[in-house]
Chain A
Amino acid sequence: TRLAEGTPRRSIHLSNIVEQRIFNDNEIISTPKRTRSKLTDEVVDADYTPKKSIQKTPTRARRSSTTKQPSVTKQKEQAPLTPSQKLKKIRSGELSPSMVQREQPVDDRRKSQLQLAREQLHVSVVPKSLPCREKEFDNIYSFLEGKIQDQCGGCMYVSGVPGTGKTATVTGVIRTLQHLVEKDELPAFDFLEINGMRLTEPRQAYVQIYKQLTGKTVSWEHAHTLLEKRFTTPAPRRVTTVLLVDELDILCNRRQDVVYNLLDWPTKSAARLVVVTIANTMDLPERLLMGKVTSRLGLTRLTFQPYTHKQLQEIVTARLAGSEAFKGEAVQLVARKVAAVSGDARRALDICRRATEIADTADAQPGGIKCVTMLHVQQALAEMIASAKVQAIKNCSRLEQIFLQAVAAEVTRTGVEETTFMGVYTQIETIAAFMGVTLPAPGRALHLCSKLGAERLIISEHSRHDLYQKILLNVSADDIHYALRVEAN
Chain B
Amino acid sequence: MHDSVQEITKTRRFLKERLQRDYTTVRGYESERNNVRQLLQRTAEMGESNSLLLIGPRGAGKTTLINAVLTDLLENKSFVDNTLIVHLDGNLHTDDRIALKSITVQMRLENAADGKVFGSFAENLAFLLQCLKAGDKKSKSVVFVLEEFDLFCTHHNQTLLYNLFDVSQSAQAPICVLGVTCRLDVIELLEKRVKSRFSHRQVFLFPSANKFEEYVSLFQHLISIPSSTELQADADRIDSLQLFKSEAFTFQRNHFDGVEYNFNSKHVENWNRNIGKVIKTPAAQKTLQMLYDFDISEAFLKTFIFRVVAQLKADAPHITVEQLTALGAQYECDDKVELLCGLSVLELCLLIAIKHHSSIYDRDPFNFEIIFARFSKFAKVSSTMQGVERAIVLKAFEHLRIVELIMPLSSIGLGKVQKEFEMHKMALTYGQIQQAVQRYQALPTEVAQWAQSSLI
A: which residues have CB within 8 A of B?
Answer: 82-84, 86-87, 90-91, 95-106, 115, 118-119, 122-126, 161-163, 197-201, 204, 207-208, 211, 217, 247, 250, 280, 342, 344, 346-347, 350-351, 353-354, 357, 361, 383-385, 387-389, 391-392, 394-400, 422, 425, 437-438, 440-444, 448, 451, 454-457, 466-468, 474
Candidates A353, A456, A466, A474; contact of B407 at CB < 8 Å: A466
Which residues in B have their C-beta under 8 angstroms from that of A105? 137-138
**Structural contact, B196 and A163, CB atoms closer than 8 A:** yes
Q: Known: A98-B134, A201-B122. Is A83-B111 also a contact (CB below 8 A)?
A: yes
Q: A425-B429, A454-B57, A454-B182 are in contact. Are A346 and B169 (CB under 8 A)?
A: yes
Chain B contacts for A100, CB-based, 8 A: 84, 107-108, 139-140
Q: Is the beta-carbon distance between B110 and A95 smaller than 8 angstroms?
A: yes
Give Cα distance in the complex from A350 to B429, angstroms. 53
Please, which residue of chain B has its CB at the minimum distance from the CB of A422?
A: B429
Residues in chain A near residue B294, CB distance under 8 A = 397, 399, 440, 444, 448
User: A82 — which chain B residues lie within 8 A by C-beta?
Assistant: 113
Q: A361-B38, A389-B184 are in contact. Are A161 and B171 (CB under 8 A)?
A: no
Q: Chain B residues near A204: list those with CB within 8 A.
A: 122, 126
Q: Are B333 and A102 in contact (CB under 8 A)?
A: no
A90/B122 in contact, CB under 8 A: no
Q: How far is the CB of A224 from chain B (nearest CB, A)?
A: 14
Asked whether, in the complex, the Cβ of A103 is within 8 Å of the Cβ of B81, the reply is yes
**Do the beta carbons of A350 and B199 come within 8 Å of each other?**
yes
Q: Which of B202-210, B261-269, B346-354, B373-381 contacts A (4 or more CB under 8 A)?
A: B202-210
Nearest to A118 among chain B residues (CB) is B48
Residue of A103, A197, A443 with most partner-chain B CB within 10 A? A197
The interface residues of chain A lying within 8 Å CB-to-CB of B81 are 102-104
Judged by a CB distance under 8 angstroms, whether B127 is at the interface is: yes
Can you report 29 A-B residue pairs in the complex whose CB atoms are below 8 A from each other?
Answer: A83-B113, A86-B118, A87-B111, A90-B111, A90-B123, A91-B119, A99-B135, A100-B108, A100-B140, A101-B139, A102-B82, A103-B81, A104-B78, A115-B46, A197-B162, A198-B162, A200-B121, A201-B122, A204-B122, A217-B123, A350-B201, A351-B200, A389-B184, A395-B57, A397-B294, A399-B294, A441-B332, A455-B183, A457-B184
Least Cβ–Cβ distance between B166 and chain A, in angstroms = 8
Compute how far the CA of A437 lies from the CA of B286 in the bound complex, rounded to whole angstroms.
Answer: 12
Contact A124 B196 (CB under 8 A): no
- Enumerate chain A residues within 8 angstroms of B206, measured Cβ to Cβ: 391-392, 394-395
Contact with A along B272-307 (1 / 0, CB 8 A): 000000000000000000101111100000000000
Q: Tell yes or no: B414 within 8 A of A by CB.
A: no
Most buried by B among A105, A124, A161: A124
Establish whether residues B334 and A443, one from each chain, have CB atoms under 8 Å apart when the complex forms: yes
Is B233 an interface residue, CB under 8 A from the partner? no
* CB closest residue in chain B, given A392: B184
Assess whether B446 is interfacial by the CB under 8 Å rule.
no
Q: Which residues of A contact B110 (CB under 8 A)?
A: 86, 90, 95, 97-98
Q: At the interface, yes or no: B34 with Cβ under 8 Å from chain A?
A: yes
5 new A-B contacts, CB < 8 A, other than A98-B131, A197-B166, A198-B129, are A124-B171, A392-B184, A398-B292, A399-B294, A467-B427
Q: Are B129 and A383 in contact (CB under 8 A)?
A: no
Number of interface residues of B (CB under 8 A): 89
Q: Is the CB of B200 within 8 A of A99?
A: no
Chain A nearest CB from B36 CB (Å) reads 12
Q: Kindly report which residue of chain A lies nearest to residue B96, judged by CB atoms.
A: A200
Is B58 at the interface (CB under 8 A from chain A)? yes
Partner of B38, one of A97, A115, A357, A388: A357
Query: Hey, which chain A residues are within 8 Å of B336, CB to CB?
Result: 441-443
Cβ–Cβ contact A442 & B429, under 8 A: yes
Min distance, Cβ B62 to any Cβ of chain A, angstroms: 12
Q: Are A99 and B134 in contact (CB under 8 A)?
A: yes
Tell whether B45 is near chain A: CB-to-CB under 8 Å.
yes
Q: How many whole Å from B54's CB to the nearest CB in chain A?
A: 12
Q: Is A84 a contact of B118 with CB atoms below 8 Å?
A: yes
CB atoms of B157 and A197 under 8 A apart:
yes
Q: Which residues of B contact A443 (CB under 8 A)?
A: 334-336
Q: Point out the residues of chain B lying under 8 angstroms from A84, CB to CB.
A: 118
Taking a contact as CB atoms under 8 Å apart, the answer to whether B140 and A102 are in contact is yes
Given A200-B159, A280-B193, A354-B201 in contact, is the A451-B57 Cβ separation under 8 Å? yes
Instruction: List A contacts of B184 (CB < 8 A).
Output: 387-389, 392, 455-457
Q: Note all chain A residues with C-beta closer than 8 A to B404.
A: 466
Q: Does B213 sit at the interface, judged by CB under 8 A?
A: no
Q: Which residue of A lies closest to B132 (CB)?
A: A99
7 A-B pairs with the lowest CB-CB distances in the bound complex, closest first: A162-B196, A99-B135, A441-B334, A395-B206, A99-B139, A83-B113, A103-B81
Residue of A nearest to B57 (CB): A455
User: B69 within 8 Å of A by Cβ?
Assistant: no
Measured CA separation A440–B432 after assembly (Å) = 12
A167 smallest CB distance to B (angstroms): 10
Q: How far is the CB of A14 from chain B (nearest CB, A)?
A: 26
Residues of A within 8 A of B57 (CB): 392, 395, 451, 454-455
Cβ distance A370 to chain B, nearest Cβ, rounded Å: 15
Which chain A residue shows the least CB distance to B432? A442
Q: Report B102 CB to chain A, min CB distance, Å.
A: 16
Residue B141 at the chain A interface, CB threshold 8 Å: yes
Please pick, from B131, B163, B171, B201, the residue contacting A198 in the complex, using a CB distance under 8 A. B163
For B108, what are the chain A residues with a Cβ–Cβ distance below 8 Å? 100
Other-chain contact of B200, A95, A96, A350 (Cβ < 8 Å): A350
